[in-house]
């Protein structure tokens, strides 16, 4: 028998790891080791993202919280009173003039006004009272309980001390994280997020439609009850007056005749001005919202990453957002794809 050869000695080497090259994952509790310092790191097991310099946030003061609640309540009351004033004041001021034309015309416009009013108030209630998008409860904190990629791209909210899903943001007014948060709207007293974003955009559409209808009807009724207008200077001087003097003569005559308007006429004048002003502002906000939906973004995600696209832009995002029926979406998207193919072939 041959002699046994001695086993080679194994060289043991102990390496010290700097403290700033190791950390503990908040998602699964596993100890992570890095080759170099990283201010932001992602766990290879659960997928949670951690910022090493993140510190717990102090809760907002009671005075700050009361101020935000007072602000939201004030804007909600102002908006509700304005909607009620436009509806009630418009019915009182406009429809005697409309019914004087014909019974059919009065009934028709009363029906249109009732439909727009119910639709606007219903969409406002849905946007205001529906949850904006609270994140679903998820297990975190312990390795055996957290599975592979269970917290993929989740971050830790230092306000809630809970996991925060991707594209979620913490709202200090609502004191919660909101999934796909667009913004906090004080006029509805709620955040605009994944669960009520559609109701909010429908509310904007209904406001633009209702204000346009109210402006047309009030201007039409004002034309019928306005006192007779006399332009003595225009008839005497004729074409010798300049365009600026003609404009000033018309404005002066209209302003002087407005003093002889009845209470109904003054209400009509205010409703026309208010409807046009609100319509202009809400139309700008609606166009902004639709452009973000078309790009597949939200206001906050666009604000935080202005040069980063969250997804493919296109009309399919709008169809998916509004939940259009399948036949309509198929025809619409098919027409869009065909037009894009034709434009691409022309470029080639």
* Residue 5 in tokens: 């050869």
Whether 287 is a known active-site residue: answer no
Return d(Cα 272, Cα 263) in angstroms, integer. 14
Token pair in block for residue 133: 């998008």
Residue in 43, 157, 185, 211 annotated catalytic: 185
CB within 8 Å of 82: residues ≥ 6 apart: 274, 278
Strand partners, 95: none
Which residues make Cβ contacts (< 8 Å) with residue 172, sequence separation at least 6?
A: 60, 68, 159
Q: How far apart are CA 279 and CA 257, in angstroms?
A: 27
Q: How far is residue 261 CA from its own chain's centroid?
A: 40
On whether the CB atoms of residues 121 and 82 are closer than 8 A, the answer is no
Q: Are the CB atoms for 156 and 43 separated by under 8 Å?
A: no
**Residues designated as active site:** 185
């Amino acid at each position: 028998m041959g002699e046994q050869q001695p086993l080679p000695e194994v060289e043991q080497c102990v390496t010290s790891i700097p403290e700033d090259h190791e950390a503990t994952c908040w998602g699964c509790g596993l100890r992570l080791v890095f080759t170099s310092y990283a201010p932001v790191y992602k766990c290879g097991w659960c997928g949670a993202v951690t910022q090493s310099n993140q510190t717990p946030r102090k809760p907002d003061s009671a005075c700050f919280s009361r101020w935000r609640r007072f602000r939201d309540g004030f804007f909600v009351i102002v908006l509700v009173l304005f909607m009620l004033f436009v509806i009630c004041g418009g019915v009182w001021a406009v429809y005697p003039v409309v019914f004087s034309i014909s019974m059919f015309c009065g009934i028709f416009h009363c029906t249109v006004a009732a439909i727009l009013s119910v639709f606007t108030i219903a969409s406002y209630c849905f946007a205001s009272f529906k949850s904006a998008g609270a994140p679903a409860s998820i297990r975190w904190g312990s390795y055996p309980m957290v599975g592979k990629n269970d917290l993929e791209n989740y971050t830790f909210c230092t306000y809630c001390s809970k996991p925060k899903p991707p594209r979620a943001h913490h709202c200090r007014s609502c004191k919660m994280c909101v999934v796909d948060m667009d913004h906090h709207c004080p006029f509805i007293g709620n955040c605009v997020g994944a669960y009520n974003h559609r109701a909010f955009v429908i509310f904007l559409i209904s406001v633009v439609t209702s204000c346009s209808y109210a402006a047309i009807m009030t201007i039409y009724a004002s034309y019928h009850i306005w006192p007779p207008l006399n332009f003595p200077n225009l008839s005497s001087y004729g074409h010798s007056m300049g365009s600026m003097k003609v404009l000033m003569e018309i404005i002066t005559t209209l302003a002087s005749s407005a003093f002889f308007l009845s209470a109904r006429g003054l209400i009509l004048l205010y409703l026309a001005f208010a409807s046009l002003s609100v319509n202009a502002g809400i139309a700008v906000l609606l166009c902004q919202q639709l452009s973000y939906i078309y790009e597949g973004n939200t206001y906050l995600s666009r604000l935080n990453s202005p040069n980063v696209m969250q997804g493919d832009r296109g009309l399919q995002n709008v169809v998916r957002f509004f939940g259009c029926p399948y036949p309509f979406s198929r025809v619409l998207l098919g027409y869009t794809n065909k037009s894009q193919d034709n434009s691409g072939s022309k470029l080639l």
